[in-house]
Structure 1
Amino acid sequence: MQIDLSGKSALVTGSTAGIGFAIARGLQEAGATVVINGRTEASVDAALAKLGGTARGRAIDLGTADGARELVALEPSFDVVVNNLGIFQPLDFFATDDAIWDRHWQVNVMSGVRIARAYLPGMAARGWGRMLFLSSESAFNIPVEMIHYGVSKTADVSLARGLAKRMAGTGVTVNSILPGPTLSEGVAEMLKSETAAGKSLAEAGADFVKAHRPTSLIRRPATVEEVASMAVYLASPQASATTGAALRVDGGTIDFIN
């Protein structure tokens, strides 16, 4: 299969590292003109230096309404939008105050709501578009150590499904992607004590999955490239019959058939 996104413009939010950066790279390699996003000029500049090509960057905090308005003023139109921006914070439910719940809701859910509200009408007017939401297997396997995060990721799946219905018949597809444990920079940092003790990152990741996601069938974390491949496919013309779906790149962690 040859995916060709030549002539298409693409935004990937929260894309200076990890899964977001891998998606941006994959879209650019498929021919799209890519805009990456991060909160600081330094992180955006560093990511652009790694990415190369024709990509450009916007250092804007999209976890706020003001940030969304700023981005839309600078970048009024996209053919492909990947709502990848997200945060997580392991914390017991009874220690999780309203501020933490609200921050996860604003960043993980409302950022996508605002971006979708801004860019979907233009896609519909042109008769073609792709809107993706990076959810998580935690949307269904709610992690007891961060219930607030799981709830926000369930909301992302619902948002994508609802928007797919809203855009029915327009030529615009809306889907969510559910990664499982993935060897991003954030996970590598979380496993730092294990790797400092002599384990390789791959070994530490596999041990984490076996201990904390025992239903995983691949028994290891995914790579960011494996998750990005799903996003690039969903952004492609070849995925025109896939919409309203929650597609799993979870290594079989979610223990039900769908």
Structure 2
Amino acid sequence: MKTMLTAMIAPLALVAMPAMADHHAALHPMASDPAMDNAAPQSAVQDAGRTADAVRDIWRHPAETLAFFQVKPGMTVIDYMPAGGWYTRVLVPYLGAQGRYIGLTPDAARSDDARSAQYFAGLPGKFAQELPKWNLAGAPVMTVASDAPDLAAYEGRVDRALIFREMHNLFRSGLINNELTRIRALLTDEGMLGIVQHRAGPSAPASYTEGSKGYLRQKDVVALVEAHGFDLVDSSEINANPRDTANHPAGVWELSPNFSTKRNAELEPIGESDRMTLLFRKRS
């Protein structure tokens, strides 16, 4: 997958912590102020065009999460595997005309799994096809696979890379080494990587945390990312959900919003998954 699909969005002038899960203590003490100013991302989150998306805010906390990741207007930001564009519709207006949004997708040819490779290969085209329907204004938007030659122009120029609920896919498809190495090369010397990921219990067995259930242990994610040239700066319980036992036989997809099994009545009160929220800095 060597082609790059680019869509430019017309500029628009920029408008602009939660309960702890007892069984998931943070790996490091909070280094940043929990009362950090998130007024700017909150303005983007409150946009009238997000009516359908906003029902998930109670579980995903986009304003607080972007503030924790220290994302600012005017930055160049990678949104890794943006899929249905839930965070795209917050980030594009928030970053503004002076920023840049890069929807980065995996190098499908490196996947260990043929089915995953086929899915990854179709992501840039699918995203580009859906993008005009969202009628976004703000940062220019690019969708590109991580193996695209054109991406070389952005090496050392990206301020933030954000991976929302996709680390398990990178892990189970054998892509984690290639993709984290690529992301590190794209970040500036002071660039940072923000990760939100479905969180397994600290003693969850290997059979449940190899990626196919959607859940990973927090200490494993930290170890994997640090092994690829990053240092953990901070962790947060912004997206924690102590109601989630993280032991569902069919994985995280049993919960909202997927409800992949017929246990909806039992599982709906839980809400979405318990999630770790981690911030890393590129190691020099």
Tell me the TM-score normalised to structure 2 length.
0.46
- Hey, which of these two has a bigger chunk of helix by percent? 1
Tell me the TM-score normalised to structure 1 length.
0.50
- Hey, which of these two has a bigger chunk of strand by percent? 2
